[in-house]
Amino acid sequence: MADLPRRVHLYEEGPREGFQIEPGPIATADKVRFIEALADTGLREVQCVSFVDPVRVPGMADAEAVARTLRRREGVRYTGLWLNQRGLERALATPLDIEGAVRTSASEAFSVRNNGRNTADLLQAQRETLAFCVSRGIPVASGIVTTAFGCNIEGAIPVRRVVDRVAELLALLREFGLRLPILRLADTVGWANPNSIAAVVGAVRERWPALRLGLHLHDTRGTAMANALMGLQMGIDTFDSACAGLGGCPFAGHAGAAGNICTEDLAFLCEEMGIDTGIDLDALAECARMAERIVGHPLPGKLMRGGTLGRLRH
Amino acid sequence: MADLPRRVHLYEEGPREGFQIEPGPIATADKVRFIEALADTGLREVQCVSFVDPVRVPGMADAEAVARTLRRREGVRYTGLWLNQRGLERALATPLDIEGAVRTSASEAFSVRNNGRNTADLLQAQRETLAFCVSRGIPVASGIVTTAFGCNIEGAIPVRRVVDRVAELLALLREFGLRLPILRLADTVGWANPNSIAAVVGAVRERWPALRLGLHLHDTRGTAMANALMGLQMGIDTFDSACAGLGGCPFAGHAGAAGNICTEDLAFLCEEMGIDTGIDLDALAECARMAERIVGHPLPGKLMRGGTLGRLRH
């Protein structure tokens, strides 16, 4: 296990992933309270809202209100998700820490369902967004390949397909003289297993050894923590995650399935393995309990019920 | 990952682990129906009941009734847990597949709370049980070290302590000219992490290279699947598990915490990694849904909601 990172960065996406999929209306004040509590735990980056069509995702209709209301803590980045230039322009009009990003999908069918366009059109849209970012001086912070490990609609995804899509993204960035600070490989609908994590991460890293990689894992079928361990064993030091295991993809076609890998459970795993997260685990477990109270039903996170080991360890 | 086993044996403990901790009375007929469904999935060993004091564990008061009622399927072993000679004698009076077993605890405090005696007294009790087994011609099938990775009462458990306890058990067996077919290392209250799995398994294996090892994992703090992966990477091919993630220890002191590692989620992980389990995943996921209906509340298993990949894979 020589490749374990010393420090892991957890990018908290619970407020966005979670509250966009919840059926009930979540009060803006509750979202703000939850985000503020998360920012007090040592997390350095919290994705607060998504700037998407409120007709398709009614739970995010108050994105601007959340962004404007929350009290910011120094040293924490408060981000928002956007999927097209219109969303980006909405995001830029708020006080959030908005950066450029590029996205592609390893599955054509998922791209159409999630983004409303095939991957060729999606790439062209990224080109226009990049041009807009460059003209406004907005730095491009990350790229993501969704459904990189499999797709409920299209089925298995060949590793080669992921490599091709990454190559397209990087070529697009080069058109603008840009490099990608980090590429996120997303197991959007919970198809990954430790072998496929090793295969995809290995193939991308072999072709682009200097490209920093992150993992966006979903626990749809219970494998997220094993997949995270394989990522850690390969030296991955950046994970997207959601407090309490909030989330799930509204367009993935399995209502009720588990959501993102749970932030506090993953942070606990890391800390127990001697990998620094910078997070106060007890405070984060308390956030998870707050999330359950806000959504009004049990969430999948375990640490919030099992408790941390700090005071038990002696 | 050269050490991955080709085939994994999952020892189903859901009916025992799960129904002993559930507060509501579970009908004997429901227990029987669940056990029979489990035996139809390809599982080869199902722990059905425990023969323990019905005052301490009222949910197991109908152990004999369950054992006598269930229809047996050829090729499946139906076992029962017992913790002392009185329980063993009750078990032997039923048609279940009852074998000898020896147990110790890495934690003195847990031993007292769970077994009602310290580990020296527990060892002496094992001696008496072994003498009884030998006199009756009952084969001794397994040994277990509980709280091998940590204890909520006593705190961290040194690796050396586990090795000492294993040595005591093996010495005891030698007194009777017996060898142990398998030793189970139990993370009874969810303290293990992949590093401690590697440390404890490594230390025991270094001292007794020919001793077959199994893992009994609890998902109290969300790390069970990562711990299982580490076990698999070390060649462990036997895991105790519970359908739907039923269970939890009634004496562990955290009500509501997650139970055993979920059988169908672990079987899914194995099958996706190319490790044969002999299990029909769809049938097992259906058992998990049955378990939820029986206990009347959500259980932690993920695959029963996320669904298998078979028909999605094309």
Q: For the whole model, what pTM was predicted?
A: 0.96
- Residues of chain B with C-beta less than 8 angstroms from the C-beta of A266: 222
| Predicted confidence band of residue B44 (pLDDT cuts 50, 70, 90) | very high
Whether A312 contacts chain B with CB within 8 A: yes
Whether A200 contacts chain B with CB within 8 A: no
Nearest to A156 among B194, B266, B313 (CB): B313
Instruction: Evaluate whether A172 touches A123 at the Cβ level (below 8 Å).
Output: yes
Most A CBs within 10 A among B3, B152, B312, hence the mutation to make, goes to: B312
Distance from CA of A222 to the nearest CA of B (A): 5
Kindly list the catalytic residues of B. Answer: 249
* pLDDT computed for residue B2 by the predictor: 57
For B69-126, how does the pLDDT look when each residue is reduced to its tens digit (9 = 90+)? 999 999 999 999 998 889 999 999 999 999 999 999 999 999 999 888 999 999 999 9
Kindly list the catalytic residues of A. Answer: 249
CA separation (Å) from B249 to A137, A233, A279, B17?
57, 31, 29, 8
Most B CBs within 10 A among A1, A295, A312, hence the mutation to make, goes to: A312
Whether A220 contacts chain B with CB within 8 A: yes
A274–B219 C-beta distance less than 8 A? no
Strand B45-51, strand A77-82: pairing: unpaired
- HSE at residue B135, side-chain half, CA atoms within 13 A, is 7
Task: Return left, alpha or beta for B292; rule: phi > 0 is left, psi -120 to 50 is alpha, else beta.
Answer: alpha
Whether B230 contacts chain A with CB within 8 A: yes
Q: What are the residues facing A263 on neighbouring strands?
A: none
Whether A254 contacts chain B with CB within 8 A: yes
* Architecture in CATH for domain B1-84+242-248+275-314: Alpha-Beta Barrel (3.20)
- The percent of residues in chain B predicted with pLDDT above 70, rounded, is 96
* pLDDT computed for residue B251 by the predictor: 47
Most A CBs within 10 A among B157, B272, B275, hence the mutation to make, goes to: B272
Strands of A179-304 (E only): list them: 183-187, 213-217, 238-241
Distance from CA of A25 to the nearest CA of B (A): 23
| Complex ipTM value | 0.95
Mean pLDDT of A29-52: 97
* pLDDT computed for residue B255 by the predictor: 55
B152–A221 C-beta distance less than 8 A? no
Q: Where are the domains of chain B?
A: 1-84+242-248+275-314, 99-236
| Predicted confidence band of residue B252 (pLDDT cuts 50, 70, 90) | very low
Mean pLDDT of A156-183: 97
B226–A223 C-beta distance less than 8 A? no
CB count within 10 Å of CB B274 equals 10
Nearest to B191 among A225, A228, A309 (CB): A309
- Residues of chain B with C-beta less than 8 angstroms from the C-beta of A309: 150, 191, 221
Nearest to B254 among A221, A301, A306 (CB): A306
The C-alpha atoms of residue B33 and residue B39 are separated, in whole angstroms, by 10
Domain B99-236 has CATH 3.40.190.10: no
Which are the contacts of A21, defined by CB distance < 8 A and separation ≥ 6? A59, A246, A247, A248, A249, A250, A259
For A282-291, how does the pLDDT look when each residue is reduced to its tens digit (9 = 90+)? 999 999 999 9
The C-alpha atoms of residue A37 and residue A30 are separated, in whole angstroms, by 11
Please tell me the least confidently modeled range out of A239-243, B50-54, B263-267: B50-54
B220–A265 C-beta distance less than 8 A? no
- The percent of residues in chain B predicted with pLDDT above 90, rounded, is 85
Would the pLDDT of B306 be above 70?
yes
Whether B219 contacts chain A with CB within 8 A: yes
Longest alpha-carbon distance in chain A: 58
Domains B1-84+242-248+275-314 and B99-236 fall in the same CATH topology: yes
Distance from CA of B259 to the nearest CA of A (A): 10
Mean pLDDT of B21-45: 94
Whether B203 contacts chain A with CB within 8 A: no
* pLDDT computed for residue A252 by the predictor: 46
Size of interface A-B (CB pairs under 8 A): 143
Whether B199 contacts chain A with CB within 8 A: no
Mean pLDDT of A154-183: 97
Q: What is the dihedral of CA A81, A86, A89, A91, to 10 degrees?
A: -30
Most A CBs within 10 A among B217, B220, B302, B311, hence the mutation to make, goes to: B302
Would the pLDDT of A251 be above 60?
no
- The percent of residues in chain A predicted with pLDDT above 70, rounded, is 96
The C-alpha atoms of residue A272 and residue B78 are separated, in whole angstroms, by 37
Nearest to A257 among B266, B268, B305 (CB): B305
CA separation (Å) from B56 to A47, A170, B28, B51, B292?
48, 63, 18, 11, 24
Whether B300 contacts chain A with CB within 8 A: yes
Q: Which residue of B has its CA nearest to A256?
A: B305
Whether A263 contacts chain B with CB within 8 A: no
A193–B258 C-beta distance less than 8 A? no
B193–A256 C-beta distance less than 8 A? no
The C-alpha atoms of residue B193 and residue A270 are separated, in whole angstroms, by 9
SS (H, E, C) B214-262: EEEEECCCCCHHHHHHHHHHCCCCEEEEEHHHCCCCCCCCCCCCCCECE
CA separation (Å) from A129 to A91, A99, A125, A272, B19?
13, 11, 6, 41, 56
- Residues of chain A with C-beta less than 8 angstroms from the C-beta of B197: none
Distance from CA of A197 to the nearest CA of B (A): 11
Most B CBs within 10 A among A4, A107, A225, hence the mutation to make, goes to: A225
B298–A298 C-beta distance less than 8 A? yes
Residue labelled with tokens 């055993």? B260
Please tell me the least confidently modeled range out of A212-216, A226-230, B41-45, B257-261: B257-261
Task: Find the radius of gyration of the CA atoms of chain B.
Answer: 18
| Predicted confidence band of residue A248 (pLDDT cuts 50, 70, 90) | low
Of the CATH numbers 3.40.50.300, 3.20.20.70, 3.20.20.140, 3.30.1330.120, which one belongs to the domain with range A9-308? 3.20.20.70
Q: Which residue of B has its CA nearest to A275?
A: B195
Which 114-173 residues of chain A touch chain B by CB within 8 A?
150, 152, 155-156
